[in-house]
Chain A
Amino acid sequence: VQLVQSGAEVKKPGESLRISCEGSGYSFTTYSIHWVRLLPGKGLEWMGTIDPSDSYTNYNPSFQGHVTFSTDKSVNTAYLHWSTLRASDTAMYYCAAGGPFFFDFWGHGTLVTVSS
């Protein structure tokens, strides 16, 4: 199982962004995809999850309404989307695949920097 995440991004506040996470080495609909944030100098935060088989989502209320999860099964890829970035979104973002509850496989992360 391998999860390959898109490259680092530098954006301005108010801009939109979509980062990706491509799964390989397994059937993409087998595992849920979770998104986890690592803030500079802080610990890990679970943002939520999406089930690629039916697009069911479960958002952490702390992130609900600010981010959107989606998947495209035709290209085995999950996406994390912001319509309006804030400076406080500056962080490393990991995707992880696993069951509904914990995270068996992780990507290497996408660094997002939001600065004017």
Chain B
Amino acid sequence: DIVLTQSPDTLSLSPGERATLACRASQSVNSGSLAWYQHKPGQAPRLLMYGPSSRATGIPDRFSGSGSGTDFTLTISSLDPEDFALYYCQQYASSPFTFGQGTRLEIK
């Protein structure tokens, strides 16, 4: 199975700041087959990015994704108060699909 390791575990930032979340795979993720999700307590997770740089429908353009091979990044250019949540990466290059352990983005 492809293991995804996200860093950092927790990121403390202020609204308006830039957030950079990393996701490293244990082996190459072919064709950039990586997605990012946002999850808030008590809510359904939300698809943010796939492919890895395509935004899902309705996702603001302050969210961007990049990377290839084993290293991927989710960037939030200017944090909005509603962006503080848990973020997961997920690979779909090979089955079984796997998730990273998550990065918690908290208000500083």
Residues of A at under 8 Å CB distance from B? 3, 42-46, 48, 58, 60-62, 94, 96, 98, 101-109
B45–A94 contact, CB under 8 A? yes
User: What residue in chain A is nearest B100 (Cβ atoms)?
Assistant: A43
Q: Within 8 Å of chain A (Cβ to Cβ): is B46?
A: yes
Instruction: List the interface of chain B (C-beta within 8 A of A).
Output: 33, 35, 37, 42-47, 50, 56-57, 88, 90, 92, 95-102
B88 pairs with A94, CB closer than 8 A: no
Q: How far is the CA of A56 from the CA of B38 in the complex (A)?
A: 28
B39: nearest chain-A partner, CB-CB: A44
State whether A60 touches B102 (Cβ < 8 A): no
Q: Give the most central of B33, B57, B99: most A CB within 10 Å.
A: B99
Contact B56 A108 (CB under 8 A): no
Given contacts A94-B44, A108-B44, contact A102 B99 (CB under 8 A): no
**A103 is contacted by which of B33, B47, B57 (Cβ under 8 Å)?**
B47
Q: Chain A: which residue is nearest B50 at the CB level? A: A102
Q: Judging by beta carbons under 8 Å apart, are B50 and A46 in contact?
A: no
- Is the beta-carbon distance between B96 and A101 smaller than 8 angstroms? no
Does the CB pair B92–A44 fall under 8 Å?
no
